Structure 1
Amino acid sequence: MTRSVQDPAPQKKRPQFSATVVLAFCMNVVVALAKTAAALLTGSASMVAESAHSWADTGNQIFLLIAERKSARPRDAAHPMGYGREAYVWSMFAAFGLFTAGAAVSIMHGVQQLLTPEPAGDFTLAYVVLAAAFVLEGTSFLQALRQARGDAREQGRAVLDQVLNSSDTTTRAVFAEDGAALAGLVLAFAGILARQLTGSPVPDAVGSILVGVLLGIIAVVLIQKNRRFLVGQAVTAELRKSVARQLMAGTDIARITYLHLEFVGPRKLYLVAAVDLAGNRPESEVAQSLRAIERGLENHPGIEEAVLTLATADEPSLPF
């Protein structure tokens, strides 16, 4: 029903993404420990920024695991629309953590290094740690990229478009954080190399600030995306047309006069429609037909709840 340009319907492979988050978490712990040790031994501002970045990512993976677990709970009397929006709440926490523990710390340390430079040494250790981190972070990013490419291929859309506009906040967060991690490593390497070649602490400090700015931008984008889905993200016109056409093609609905679609979680929609059934039937038979159509819609993995009402004769049909 809801497979369209906006979002693919959930697939059976989706629970495996938690394994990707677990893998990213384990790698981040190892990388964070290595970066912290290197930062203490080298005194590099860029390494301090990178260690803060990795610790922020480590905490964020925990939030994302919580987001997936809580949002997957089935709906109950207390939450008739399910718990899908939990994913956006916990992903919002992760984005704020990236902003405060990653961006703010990196920028402040870079400014401090500019004002009161500290001696640095053992650059070889810093390069070894950065290289190992690049391999580990790259492995995690490639797995997230494969996930995003698969979803984008199903929809016939660009990977970046899929990542930015999908209702799947976990995919977006992991992809963005791993991409930012690789870019941060490149900035840190450039800053440390420039410091070694020039002997000036300024490039290293600037590298730390740039890493912080990068993390801040990523965090703001993630916060904004989660905010939109929390307050009610509008579906695309393509998705509305796709749902309406499939609704009319798969049932005895003659026309649709009203259609409301709202995301209530990652790849989960709440559907309300006013329809006109084909033929003239007794009231009791019409009610049974509507209930049967609703149950059929709710069996689809992309529909959390469907509510159908009868359209009046004077209501115009929606143009689909």
Structure 2
Amino acid sequence: MTVLIAFLANVLEAIAKTVAAALTSSASMVAEAAHSWADAGNEVFLLIADRRGAQRKDARHPLGYGRNAFVWSLIAAFGIFTAGSIVSIMHGIQELSETGPVESPVIAYIVLGVAFVLEGASFTQAMVRSRRLAKERGSSTWDFVLETSDTTLRAVFFEDAAALVGLVIAGGSILLHQVTGVAAWDAVGSIAVGVLLGVVAIILIGRNIQFLVGTTAAPALRARVGAALLALPEIERITYLHIEYVGPNRLFLVAEVDLAGDAREHDVARRLRDVERRIEAHEAIETVVLSLSVDDEPSLDFAAR
């Protein structure tokens, strides 16, 4: 629902900015219009990502469909780069040699001001949620947003942050054009907005690629998972632990463990399956595979991490 509201807001902003760009002949407003249209398209891909990634695992996809979220978020990030960044930069470069006065700048200021309030409200929500989750994990907000597997939260956070900075750039470039009388400032604003969107797109593209090809879990998460496994009465020690993201906040666990007691092979196999089912009952676990440790393998020490 949050993504849907953001989509509708971006569409309204894009229409308003497009009209303002036509009325004012401002290159910066054209860049902001392209920015909002790119964001609106991005929200569509994020909606698809949430829907496709939420499907439960089946026989064809034993690790679930969660990676769909990373795929569609990657497509969305490329959309920001092409529809937002490249269009803004190219238009700004073109306007450098064909600069003209910004007409009726008051219209531009009004549209930019309203957009700033809307984007500010959305960014505040994303920031509050990110800070809360970061605090729960003992991490800084910036590190959490970069490292989280919640690709939708990261996209919204960076999009809203870029939107606020872009609005300031656009308003400042139009103001500089008015104050100095140099029309090139407006074109420079368009280029600056394009560069900003390019940086954001590259960050989002890089993170989604890392989750698609496989990235190691953060040490803090690895320590929490290991401690949680050792807290189970059946597990005495762990000699191997592999944690892999298979979707937003969805994990695939492989571990070699030493079970308490000295039961027969048949009983041990049954106990392993029972422990696996209990672990998979956790909302963050998609699939878990446990096997027995060899006696001479060293134990992993999660308390020291």
- The root-mean-square deviation of aligned C-alpha atoms, in Å, is 1.0
Q: Residue 90 of structure 1 aligns to which amino acid in structure 2? A: W
The offset of 1:71, in angstroms, is 0.4
Partner Cα separation in structure 1 for residue 155 and residue 94 of structure 2: 30
Gaps of 5+ in 1: 1-18
1:202 equivalenced with 2:184 (yes/no):
yes
Match in the other structure for 2:55: 73
Q: Residue 37 of structure 1 aligns to which amino acid in structure 2? A: V
Q: Residue 124 of structure 1 aligns to which amino acid in structure 2? A: V
The structure 2 residue matched to 1:88, chosen from 62, 70, 77, is 70
Match in the other structure for 2:220: 238
1:203 aligns to what SS in structure 2? helix
**What is the 5 A alignment of 1:154-169?**
154-169=136-151
Partner Cα separation in structure 2 for residue 184 and residue 131 of structure 1: 12
Partner Cα separation in structure 1 for residue 43 and residue 288 of structure 2: 33
Match in the other structure for 2:153: 171
Gaps of 5+ in 2: none
The offset of 1:315, in angstroms, is 2.0
Partner Cα separation in structure 2 for residue 239 and residue 151 of structure 1: 13
Match in the other structure for 1:4: none
1:284 equivalenced with 2:235 (yes/no):
no
1:146 equivalenced with 2:108 (yes/no):
no
TM-score, with structure 1 as normaliser: 0.92
Q: Which moved more, 1:233-242 or 1:125-134?
A: 233-242
Q: Residue 187 of structure 2 aligns to which amino acid in structure 1? A: A
The offset of 1:158, in angstroms, is 1.6
1:223 equivalenced with 2:205 (yes/no):
yes
Partner Cα separation in structure 1 for residue 212 and residue 128 of structure 2: 27
1:45 equivalenced with 2:31 (yes/no):
no
1:189 equivalenced with 2:171 (yes/no):
yes
Q: Is the 8 A contact 1:42 1:121 kept in 2?
A: yes
Match in the other structure for 1:21: 3
The offset of 1:264, in angstroms, is 0.6
Match in the other structure for 2:88: 106
Partner Cα separation in structure 1 for residue 135 and residue 296 of structure 2: 42
Q: Which structure carries more relative contact order (alpha carbon 8 Å, separation 6+)?
A: 1
Q: Is the 8 A contact 1:82 1:264 kept in 2?
A: yes
Match in the other structure for 1:61: 43
Q: Deviations over 1:46-67 (max 9, x none)?
A: 0000000000000000000110
Q: Is the 8 A contact 1:70 1:87 kept in 2?
A: yes
Q: Is the 8 A contact 1:194 1:203 kept in 2?
A: yes
Q: Is the 8 A contact 2:27 2:92 kept in 1?
A: yes
Match in the other structure for 2:297: 315
TM-score, with structure 2 as normaliser: 0.97
Q: Is the 8 A contact 2:102 2:174 kept in 1?
A: no
The offset of 1:278, in angstroms, is 1.1
The offset of 1:156, in angstroms, is 2.6
| Percentage identity across paired residues of the two chains | 57
Q: Deviations over 1:164-218 (max 9, x none)?
A: 1111110000000011000000000000011112222111010100000000000
